[in-house]
A and B are shown apart, each in its own frame.
Chain A
């Protein structure tokens, strides 16, 4: 091993990586926020009384859970525009793919959470004159949200990692900038190590908090 690592290549180009990180955050935060909202609606559809609504949402969820995310992103970038006749920017395709994917996973978390609350509580709330929406908002959700927090934190972490796949459809996020720098300077070791380190720094606080939260919630139950 005669290779001498030279990390000045990273510090010289930190602004490029920082710009990449900013784009990563711009994919990450919207897709988790919109994905969670979509997941909540999907979970309602999964628990609907009409069979065809339940069926449609089941097919949607399985489609997104049983195919690789990378293929979903590539499909939304290359195939979806042919179907709708509008060319999407790489960013729009990545955001669309990741948001829909997140909503499928989030709906499973919501569904599990809502089902874990005893049916008697919904019946009781209806019996004292609340509407279904009121019962959901005042009785079921406050309990569910607490139980689901660890699962949501995990999903948030997963989405942060998945966002690196957007580099494949040339979204200029952190991984893309890292690959670009490493092919420009022929220094993959330093640059890709630095990129991995940035992802770690971005995600580790989340994992740490999730662990603490889980312990805290376990005690308060």
Chain B
């Protein structure tokens, strides 16, 4: 086989299955990092929460709610990822 055929047919298909979990992990990290966009006044979830808070003066309710929103999002996503990982590595 040529080097590129070797890569395409043998190495990459195996490597991808192993790389999927760390990639998914990274994407979850990225989801959490998006909250930083609020510090540049970008209207993400946290920024909206800050706006709501400055109108209502209810930080406890507002910030607890958005923390729970992130939590639900990430827990659901990581459960899905676990399922996907089980499927991808089922052949082993």
Determine if B59 and A68 form an interchain contact, defined as CB atoms under 8 angstroms apart: no
Q: Output the least CB separation between B61 and chain A (Å).
A: 8
User: Is A62 part of the contact surface with B, judged by Cβ < 8 Å?
Assistant: yes
Q: List 22 A-B contacts (CB under 8 A).
A: A63-B71, A66-B71, A66-B74, A66-B78, A67-B67, A68-B33, A68-B34, A68-B46, A70-B36, A70-B46, A71-B35, A71-B46, A71-B63, A71-B70, A75-B64, A75-B67, A78-B63, A79-B63, A79-B64, A82-B59, A83-B60, A165-B36
A residues less than 8 Å from B39 (CB atoms): 70, 168
Determine if A71 and B59 form an interchain contact, defined as CB atoms under 8 angstroms apart: no
User: Is B32 part of the contact surface with A, judged by Cβ < 8 Å?
Assistant: yes
User: Is A139 part of the contact surface with B, judged by Cβ < 8 Å?
Assistant: no
User: Is B75 part of the contact surface with A, judged by Cβ < 8 Å?
Assistant: yes
Q: Mark B54-88, 1 if CB is under 8 A from A, else 0.
A: 00000110111011001100110010000000000
Question: Restricting to A41-72, which residues have a CB under 8 Å from any CB of B?
Answer: 62-63, 66-72
Determine if B67 and A71 form an interchain contact, defined as CB atoms under 8 angstroms apart: yes
Q: Which residue of A lies closest to B70 (CB)?
A: A67
User: Is A180 part of the contact surface with B, judged by Cβ < 8 Å?
Assistant: no
CA distance A66 to B35 in the complex (A): 12
Determine if A71 and B53 form an interchain contact, defined as CB atoms under 8 angstroms apart: no
A residues less than 8 Å from B48 (CB atoms): none
Q: Mark B28-52, 1 if CB is under 8 A from A, else 0.
A: 0000111110110000001000000
User: Is A130 part of the contact surface with B, judged by Cβ < 8 Å?
Assistant: no
Which of A63, A79, A82 has most chain B Cβ within 10 Å?
A79
> Given the known A-B contacts A66-B75, A68-B33, A168-B39, are A74 and B63 also in contact in the complex, defined by CB atoms under 8 Å?
yes
B residues less than 8 Å from A70 (CB atoms): 35-36, 38-39, 46
CA distance A104 to B35 in the complex (A): 20
Size bracket of the A interface: 10 to 19
Name the prevailing secondary structure of the B interface residues.
helix
Q: Output the least CB separation between A191 and chain B (Å).
A: 16
Q: Which residue of B lies closest to A76 (CB)?
A: B63
A residues less than 8 Å from B78 (CB atoms): 66
CA distance A28 to B74 in the complex (A): 26
CA distance A70 to B46 in the complex (A): 9
Determine if B60 and A72 form an interchain contact, defined as CB atoms under 8 angstroms apart: no
Determine if A62 and B60 form an interchain contact, defined as CB atoms under 8 angstroms apart: no
CA distance A214 to B34 in the complex (A): 31
Question: Restricting to A63-114, which residues have a CB under 8 Å from any CB of B?
Answer: 63, 66-72, 74-75, 78-79, 82-83
CA distance A71 to B64 in the complex (A): 9
A residues less than 8 Å from B53 (CB atoms): 78
Determine if A68 and B75 form an interchain contact, defined as CB atoms under 8 angstroms apart: no
Q: Output the least CB separation between A72 and chain B (Å).
A: 7
Determine if A69 and B32 form an interchain contact, defined as CB atoms under 8 angstroms apart: yes
Q: Which residue of A lies closest to B77 (CB)?
A: A66
